[in-house]
Amino acid sequence: MDRIVKKSRTFAEAEDWDKQQYQAMSPAERMRAARQLKNRLFPGKRPDVRECHTSRISQ
């Protein structure tokens, strides 16, 4: 994920730019970014929430 810096004059302008960036990303890019943020906040081997819920349902 490349880091891009954009200076905005107002919070509204910054929020609009953020929304445009999210809309321009493909679903795969958004998932990759979310995974990178998760790994930064919670390093190490962590189970995926979806996998935890799936295993409980199937039992």
CA distance 4 to 28: 19
Q: Enter the DSSP assignment of 58.
A: H
Alpha-carbon gap, residue 35 to 49, rounded angstroms = 12
What confidence tens digit (pLDDT) does each residue in 1-59 have? 677 888 999 999 999 999 999 999 999 999 998 888 888 988 888 777 777 776 555 55
Q: What is the pTM of this model?
A: 0.56
Tokens of 48: 């995926």
Domain boundaries, the chain: 11-58
Helix/strand/coil (H, E, C) string of 16-57? HHHHHHHHHCCHHHHHHHHHHHHHHHCCCCCCCHHHHHHHHH
